[in-house]
Amino acid sequence: MSKVPLTVRGAEKLRSELNELKSVVRPRIIKAIAEAREHGDLRENAEYHAAREQQGFVEGRIKDIEAKLSNAQIIDVRTLNAGGRVVFGATVVALETATDEEHTYQIVGEDEADIREGLISVSSPIARALIGKSEGDVAVVQAPGGEREFEVLEVRYE
């Protein structure tokens, strides 16, 4: 399987969630299953079935996170020598020329993307247009609503 890029912050977030699931959530579910078993007939025990369903979900999420971390190529953007160019992990301040709106984006892996936080996936149209650009360059994005132009105002590696 090919490596998937992940920022250091994204990897830490996944590790934190994994630790929470394994050390807090999983034991709580095991305890709930044990308590539900004590109530008798499992066929008609809704608490037991709900706890088992929750256990299945949590175990699936644990496996998912472990797989993502094992296939991750963790990139620390602070150690890259990108020469002022936009690369994976970089934070970009860009001006949308048509609307004069300033946007700040960090280019991250697909699992980390959250547009509300300004985190855009490396495979998104905006990120693909920005990668390789430097301050002062104009990136043209092919969006569903037509072309959008962004002028790169600042590139930071944080």
For 99-131, write each residue's pLDDT tens digit.
Answer: 999 999 999 998 899 999 999 999 999 999 999
What ranges do the domains of the chain cover? 4-75, 77-156
**Residue type (1 letter), 106:** Q
Distance from first CA to last CA of the chain, Å, rounded?
29
Q: What is the pLDDT of residue 36?
A: 84
Q: Are 135 and 65 in contact (CB under 8 A)?
A: no
CA 121 to chain centre: 8
- Measured CA to CA, the distance from residue 151 to residue 31 in angstroms comes to 55
Q: Check whether 1 has a pLDDT greater than 70.
A: no
Average pLDDT of the segment spanning 1-12: 86
Q: What is the pLDDT of residue 38?
A: 82
Q: What is the pLDDT of residue 95?
A: 93
Q: Check whether 73 has a pLDDT greater than 70.
A: yes
Phi-psi region of 136 (alpha: psi -120 to 50; beta: other; left: phi over 0): left
Q: What is the pLDDT of residue 55?
A: 94
Q: Are 127 and 152 in contact (CB under 8 A)?
A: no
Phi-psi region of 128 (alpha: psi -120 to 50; beta: other; left: phi over 0): alpha
**Residue type (1 letter), 155:** V
- Measured CA to CA, the distance from residue 148 to residue 139 in angstroms comes to 8
The model's confidence at residue 37, banded by pLDDT at 50, 70 and 90, is confident
Average pLDDT of the segment spanning 75-95: 89
Average pLDDT of the segment spanning 10-37: 93
Q: What is the pLDDT of residues 136-150, one digit of tens each?
A: 999 999 888 889 999
Does the 77-156 domain belong in CATH 1.25.40.10?
A: no
Reported CATH class of domain 4-75:
mainly alpha
The model's confidence at residue 61, banded by pLDDT at 50, 70 and 90, is very high
Average pLDDT of the segment spanning 20-27: 96
Strands, E assignment, the chain: 4-7, 72-75, 91-96, 101-108, 119-121, 138-143, 146-156
